[in-house]
Amino acid sequence: MDGYQVRTEKKKESIRKAALELFTNLGIDKVSQAEIAKKANVSPVTIYNHFGTKDELVFDVISGYIEEEWKNRMETCQRKDISFHKKIEKLIFDTADSSNINPEFLDTIVHGYPALAKRINEIYNEYMPRVIAFLEAGKQSGYVDPDLSAESILVYLQLLGKVANELQFTDDQVKNSKLAKDMAKMFFYGLLRNPDEK
pLDDT at 168 over 70: no
Is the residue at 5 inside a domain?
yes
Q: Give the 3-state DSSP-derived string for 137-155, with helices as H, strands as E and coil as C.
A: HHHHCCCCCCCCCHHHHHH
Categorize the per-residue pLDDT at 16 as very low, low, confident or very high, splitting at 50, 70 and 90. Answer: very high
* Better pLDDT: 98 or 198: 98
Whole-model pTM? 0.77
State mean pLDDT over 7-34.
Answer: 92
H helices, E strands: number in the chain: 9, 0
Q: How far is CA 147 from the centre of its chain?
A: 30
Average pLDDT, the chain: 84
pLDDT at 24 over 80: yes
Report the CATH number at residue 20: 1.10.10.60
Is the residue at 195 inside a domain?
no
Report the CATH number at residue 133: 1.10.357.10
